[in-house]
Structures are given as C-alpha cells and as structure tokens.
Amino acid sequence: MFKRYNINRDILTLSAILIIVPFFFQNDFYYEIAIVSLLNSLICIGLNMLMGYAGQVSLGHGAFAGLGGYIAVILSSNYGITPIFGIFIAVVTMSIFAFIVSKPILRLKGHYLAMATLGVGIIISIVLNVEDELTGGSDGMSVDSFTVFGYEFSSSLQWYVLCAILLVFTIWMFTNLINSPFGRVLRSIEGSEKAANSVGINVSHYKSIVFVLSVVIATIAGSLYAFFSGFISPSEASFSHSIELVVMVVLGGLGRIYGAVIGAVILTILPQLLTSFEDYQTLIYGAIIIFVMIFMPKGIASVYEDVRGRLFASNK
Amino acid sequence: MLQINSVTKQFGGIKAVDDLSFRVKKGSIHSIIGPNGAGKTTLVNMITGVYKVDSGTIFLDGADITNISTDKLVYRGICRTFQNLEICENLTVLENVLLGFDKYMDKSLLKSCFRSKSIQADEARHKQRALHLLELIGLEKLANLKAENLSYGILKKLEIVRALGTSPELILLDEPVAGLNPKETQEVSNLIKTVVADEVTIILVEHDMKMVMQISDYITVMNFGKKLAQGTPEEIANNEDVIRAYLGSGVVC
C-alpha cells in the first residue's frame, strides 16, 4: 500500500517527527512557534516549486500570503462569511490575480523578474496600509475565531494538528507532482527554456500555472496564520516577510523537497533561540545565515542528502 | 513537403534573409550552407517560429505555418536542435530524452498530484521508448546520469535523439557537428542517416563540407541572406559562384 500511494521513508519520518515533537512542548508558546513554522513551511514549499524547480524567483510571496489572508479575514469578519468559505474565495481571487499578474511578469528573467515581483509586493503592501477603512491600516485588524462547519479551532493543539496534517498532505502531493511528467516540465524550464520550447512545451503557460499554484498555497497559509493569531497587519505582507521566505527556501535548499521545510523551521525558531543574546541577536542571526551559505551553498537539505547517500553507499 | 516562399527578415537595417525561396522534398536531407552571417540560423529560426517573418510565407504539406510558435509546430511535426547546445543539465540523460515525448504525456494537475495509475503506466511506456532511443547512440548505460556530467559530443547526439522523441516529420539540425572531432562527426553523420531511413525529412545547417557533401540529397547555398545556388552536392561542388563565395578552390569531396 505504501508503494501504491508513494508513501516513502521521508514522508513517514516527517510524520513521526510531527507526532513526537508536541510531547516536548512545555507551554502554548512552543505550539505557537511550531504552528508558525508549519505555516511558513507551507508557503516555502510553494515558493520552492517556483524558485527551486521552475527557476523563477519571486520577492513578492510574503505580500501574496498577506493579501490572501486579508481577503479571507475581511470576508469572514466584516461580511459574516464562514472562514472556510472566506479562504475559498480568497484562493479563487488570488488565483485569478496571480494568473493575470504572471502573464506580463514571467516574461522577465533573473534580476528583472525579481524587481517586478518586488514591485507587485510593495504595491500590495502600500494598498493594505492605505485602505484603512477595509484593512484597519497599519494598525491591522482583529480576526474572528476559526470555525469549520461549526467546529471551532480554539486550542493550540487543534491548530497544530490541522497545520501538521495540511503540511504532510501538501508534501505528499508535491512529491507526486515533482516526480510526474508535469514536474519534469517544470525542471526543464529551469534547465533550458529553449529546449523545453523545442519539444512542444508552452513555457509561459507552465510558468503561469506554477506561479498560481505557489500563490494559492501562500494564500491558504497566510489566511490560516491570520485566523490562528487572531490578528492581521500589513507587516504580514511586507517586503521583509517576502525576503524572509526567499531566504528560508535558499537556506533550506533550492529544488529539494524538504529543503523548504528545513529552512522555514530553522529560520522561524532561530530568532526565538537567539533572544537571550539581546542586542547581538540580529548580528548572530546574520552570521549563521552567512556561515550556512558559505559552507552549504546548496542548502541544508543537500547536506542531509549527502550523508544519506554516503550511508547508503557504505551499506552496499 | 516544406515550401518557403520569398521570406524576408530584417534586423535594423540589415536584411538577414532576403527574399529567399526554396522547397524541401519529403524524405530528403536538404542542407543549407554558406559563410557565417549568411542568414542560415535566422532562416531556421523563422521556419521554427522563433522569429516572426517580415514578409513571405512558409507552407508545410500545403498548410500555412508562417509565424506559428515553436511549441505548436512540434504538434505539426516540426522539431529542431540548436547550434548552441540546449540541454537541461539539471535533468538526467533519460529525463532529457523523455522530455522529447512530452507532447504525448498527460500532465493534468490533479492526476499528477494524486499519482494516477494512467500517468504511471504512461510514464513507464515512454521510458521504454526513451531507452530504445538512447540505445541508438549507445547511451543506455548512462541513462540515469545527470546531463551536466557528459561531454559536449555526447550531448550533441542527445539533442538529436530528444528531437526524435517528438516523432517529427521534419527535423531541423542547426550545426549538429560543430565542435566535434572526426570520430564524433562520423557518429552523428551515421545517426542522421539512420534517422532518414525512418522517413524523416531533414534540413541540415552545417559547415562541415565533407559531411554535407556525403549525406545531402540537395543543397541550398546562401550568401548575404540571398540564395546563391542550389542543386545536388556534385553541382554545388562545381559551381563557380559557390567556390568563390564559400568553398574556396581545391575542395575535395
């Protein structure tokens, strides 16, 4: 059965870790960090699909997650739509938005693409700040509790379980997708757009699809984060959040399925661990990132793969 | 089969291809030769829809294919290789060849995410076909190696094999042996001949005169975007204009 559904060792390991870890949580704060890690992991999986597999950079995914979150939250808090339906509408809206934006933007490459996504992100951030009647401006807005068909998510454990299941399921789907012909097309676009084009692949079409997919995941994670924390502010959609997400993906390992998760978890937890250094917190944070990128240029996940590869080789 | 009617392409003030017409017969190897900058690659790029044609028309088996995009042309049976190698180095050798079969593959998102049986079966079938193609160039043992680890000569052959995956009726080879040593050149030359045996029409752009003269059925010579001469290899080798503009005297074929 495991083989039929492609449930491999990695995904079982991840599930086991997610089940065991809560036993070490001493209070709600641990849960909070864990949940934020999981939600960031989700966004990073989508972003990794775009950046690591299809080779298209985006410096706007924080903004997309934020905007998606705002749409879901405004619909449920101001218009009385149920949260789950609010998220659904947010997903549909953001898909259309991402598709329209992707058409002109993804014609660009490299630095120019980075600039364009950056620009879109900043525009979103400004709009969220300025439209204060709808969004509460820079003060943000409070969010009603999250209910699914009458079932209310109130405790941290409930949220943890929800996010963990969502993450495992997303990774499972993502693994299947990457290993399918569709995934091969994505990787071929990173390899050589000309080559892909020459065998009949409509490159811009696939770039749009993967962009939309990554924005959909960001929207879901962004919405859930807003409902979980009970509050949303434009800082979710800020430039620095977008950069943070990119750093997570690159640090974890571009084009490596678990790289996004590793990067997201480490960079979410790290600032918390470093708070005891007070004034030197940011300095040490930066130094660690630089250190990792110099000694593990392909990301942390690549080290894990190397180690596993060596163990496997020695077993033979 | 392919009919090119007075196509013109201008870059700024320069006419890269100027009022060029010729026909390619089905099942033949039709070479296009000429000095560097004569407009050969521009012509290939126009036929394959990379460049828009300024004026003129291109017909394939009686159907107008002028300015149709590269990816759509693959579905009409036209495929090409590149002068500057275009291989996905991040993929394995086998995956690069599988890419050639892409137009036959089901890539629906839901089926892919949920690992449908039909996609699995499809993939397995195409893998067999891809391995078969790799055998043609003796690469089946290296199938799972990343393409970045292979030499230039092997990748040149890999590109041709990838194009074959699309089962084209017409294949355009843009300098397939540029930069290869004599042995590799001979191998590519043999590969091209075996391809023709499968009734694929070939347009060959190449500077290696020995190979061109050996395998071509017909040659069109270009110079400054215009057609200088055309004919069989013997006619071209003895054509005064061609010798003056390109071949130089004393060519031995």
Smallest Cβ–Cβ distance between B115 and the set A176, A198, A199 belongs to A176
Percent of chain A with pLDDT over 90: 68
B38 plus B63 within the same structural domain: yes
Contacts of B80 in chain A (CB under 8 A): 198
Strand, helix or coil for residue A61? helix
**In whole angstroms, what is the distance from residue B150 CA to residue B130 CA?**
18
Cβ pair B71:A200 closer than 8 A: yes
Cβ pair A192:B107 closer than 8 A: no
Q: What's the pLDDT score for residue A276?
A: 84
**Whether B220 contacts B32, CB under 8 Å:** yes
pLDDT at A22 over 60: yes
Tell whether B44 is within 8 A of chain A (Cβ). no
pLDDT class of B250 with cuts at 50, 70, 90: low
B194 plus B238 within the same structural domain: yes
B173 plus B65 within the same structural domain: yes
**In whole angstroms, what is the distance from residue B109 CA to residue A174 CA?**
11
Cβ pair B90:A191 closer than 8 A: yes
Find, in chain B, the residue whose alpha carbon is nearest to that of A172: B113
Structural domain includes residue B180: yes
Which residue, of B142, B167, B192, is where some domain finishes?
B167
Angle, CA A243 vertex, CA A240 and CA A249 arms, to 5°: 145
Q: What's the pLDDT score for residue A2?
A: 60
Q: What's the pLDDT score for residue B240?
A: 86
pLDDT at A159 over 90: yes
B179 plus B253 within the same structural domain: yes
Structural domain includes residue B82: no
Kindly tell me the burial class for residue A81, based on how many C-beta atoms sit within 10 Å of its own C-beta (0-12, 13-18, 19 or more): middle
Tell whether B221 is within 8 A of chain A (Cβ). no
Structural domain includes residue B87: no
Domain boundaries, chain A: 9-238
What token pair was written down for B179? 């930069």
Contacting B with CB below 8 Å, chain A residues are 5-6, 173-174, 176-177, 180-185, 187-188, 190-192, 194-203, 209, 213, 255
B202 plus B160 within the same structural domain: no
B122 plus B146 within the same structural domain: yes
Cβ pair B100:A199 closer than 8 A: yes
This prediction has a pTM of 0.91
pLDDT at A1 over 60: no
- Total structural domains within chain B: 2
Structural domain includes residue B151: yes
Angle, CA B78 vertex, CA B72 and CA B84 arms, to 5°: 100
Find, in chain B, the residue whose alpha carbon is nearest to that of A170: B113
Cβ pair A195:B162 closer than 8 A: yes
Tell whether B91 is within 8 A of chain A (Cβ). yes
Which residue, of B137, B167, B197, is where some domain finishes?
B167
Which residue, of B167, B184, B213, is where some domain finishes?
B167
Give the residue from A227, A280, A221, A230 showing the smallest Cα distance to A248: A221
- pLDDT single digits (tens) B177-232: 998 999 999 999 999 988 766 679 999 999 999 999 999 999 999 999 899 999 99
Residue with tokens 């089962």: B167
Q: Is the ipTM of this complex over 0.95?
A: no
> Mutating which of A107, A180, A216 best tests the B interface, going by the most B Cβ atoms within 10 A?
A180
**In whole angstroms, what is the distance from residue A254 CA to residue A47 CA?**
10
- Size of the A and B interface in Cβ pairs below 8 Å: 106
Tell whether B90 is within 8 A of chain A (Cβ). yes
B115 plus B231 within the same structural domain: no
Q: Which range of residues forms the domain containing residue B113? A: 93-167
B18 plus B62 within the same structural domain: yes
Cβ pair A192:B109 closer than 8 A: no
Percent of chain A with pLDDT over 70: 97
